[in-house]
């Protein structure tokens, strides 16, 4: 395991932009010919999953009660407010919408629902 946290994202969040707190670690960027940063580009969770496939493996899709969810692994920092930003994504939402999980919890969710896609 490379990352320290997993999250189960609903489709809207997965296809939406990552929080500002994750931009330093996960945003796509544009550089000029000298390698200097030109811009931090809008980046979705789906793009983060694709960009980090070699590091964390593929995003896992599961279907729960007719809805598709995406389970992703992150290396997120409490000190940089990355974990707090991920926690906020699930405020006022029912499980498994944007729920942070441990490795064991993510594996259990995957095993329980991955055959129902």
Q: For the chain, give every domain's residue range.
A: 5-16+45-116
Q: How far is CA 102 from CA 8, 42, 69, 73, in A?
A: 11, 28, 16, 10
Give tens-digit pLDDT for 26-80: 999 999 999 898 999 999 999 999 999 999 999 999 999 999 999 999 999 999 9
pLDDT band for position 117 (cuts 50, 70, 90): very low
Higher per-residue pLDDT: 62 or 114: 62
Give the DSSP letter of residue 35. S
pLDDT band for position 1 (cuts 50, 70, 90): very low
- Angstrom distance (rounded) from CA 72 to CA 101: 10
Cβ–Cβ < 8 Å for 43, 28: yes
Q: What is the mean pLDDT of residues 83-110?
A: 96
Cβ–Cβ < 8 Å for 89, 35: no
Cβ–Cβ < 8 Å for 58, 81: no
């Amino acid at each position: 395991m490379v990352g320290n946290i997993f999250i189960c994202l609903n489709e809207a969040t997965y296809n939406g932009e990552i929080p500002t707190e994750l931009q330093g670690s996960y945003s796509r960027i544009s550089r000029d010919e000298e390698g200097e940063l030109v811009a931090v580009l809008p980046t979705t969770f789906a793009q983060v999953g694709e960009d980090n496939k070699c590091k964390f493996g593929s995003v896992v899709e599961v279907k729960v009660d007719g809805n598709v969810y995406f389970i992703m692994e992150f290396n997120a920092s409490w000190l940089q407010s990355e974990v707090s930003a991920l926690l906020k994504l699930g405020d006022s939402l029912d499980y498994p919408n944007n729920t942070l999980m441990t490795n064991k919890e993510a594996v259990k969710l995957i095993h329980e629902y991955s055959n129902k896609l």
